[in-house]
Structures are given as C-alpha cells and as structure tokens.
Amino acid sequence: MQAQVEAIGFVEAPRPKAEDDFWGGEQACIALVDGFGAEALQGLAEFSHVEVLFLFHEVPPEKIERGARHPRNNPAWPSVGIFAQRGKNRPNRIGSTICPIVRVERTRLYLAELDAINGTPVLDLKPVMAEFLPRQALRQPAWSRELMQAYWTYKP
C-alpha cells in the first residue's frame, strides 16, 4: 500500500543542517503552505505545547536504517533497533517533537525548541493534551539519558 502525505507547512529556523545536540534556546516558525488560512491554527494558541510531526528530508535513501545500530554510532551504547531510538535515519524519516508554543500569527506558528532545520517539511501539528501523555511513570535505559544529556542544552 502506498500512502501519500503532503507537507502542511515548512520550518523557518536558524539551523541549516542537523546536529546532535544543543537545541535548547532555539526558536523556529512553521509557515503553513498556501491552501491553509489562519483558521487552520485558530485556537492553538490556547494550548501551551504542540506536537510537530516532520520529515527528515535530508536523509538519503541509502542511509535509512532498518535494523539495529549503536545510537550515534557510539560503541559505548548498546546496539538497538531503529524503533528503540529516535535517530533521523528511520524507515519513513518521520520526526516528532513536543514544543512550547510562543505565539500564533495568522498562518505562522512560532515555537521554542523545535529540533528541525530550516526548510524541513511539516507533516502535521497536534495540540498536546495531558490525557494523551503517559499515564504511568516513564521508563528508559541509562544510555538514552546519557545520549540526551546535552540535547536541550543552550549553546550561544
């Protein structure tokens, strides 16, 4: 089955290429494509956060991972399947991040801490509701906490 997905907008951000860390303090804008009016974002500013689904558009097909690997190619961390990590070399190249909403201006959504680069196609936006967040305590391996240690650190 072949599914068709089209971008609903594009990221305008200061970063031109993907990096592993230091996404804290970043601000970005998602500009909706033609065909969406301001009413598409109506009411979103009443939420504190939005989940952004986007395409890792610069990952070439030959770099797609379908098996296991060491996250960030670090042999100190265990080899885990692509679905046990959040790397960009995923089979469908879909990224997801929950971001604080800064403001909404007509067809432009301004966000903090969106870990997507300039020009990234946005596939969908979903308001974050407490009822969709985990209802139990989170569990994750130690290597993942080590990997994320500097991810949201601010680097001027």
- Reported as a single tens digit per residue, the pLDDT across 35-68 is 999 999 999 999 999 999 999 999 999 999 999 9
Asked if residue 85 belongs to a domain, the reply is yes
Structural domains of the chain, count: 1
pLDDT of residue 151: 87
Q: What residues make up the domain containing 31?
A: 9-147
pLDDT at residue 20 greater than cutoff 80: no
Q: Checking phi first, is residue 135 left (phi over 0); if not, alpha (psi -120 to 50) or beta?
A: alpha
1 part of a folded domain: no
pLDDT of residue 121: 98
Please tell me the predicted confidence (pLDDT) of residue 24: 83
CATH of the domain at 109: 2.40.30.70
Report the C-alpha gap between 29 and 39 in whole angstroms. 17
Which residues, at least 6 apart from 1, have a Cβ–Cβ distance to it below 8 Å? none
Tell me the whole-structure pTM to 2 decimals: 0.92
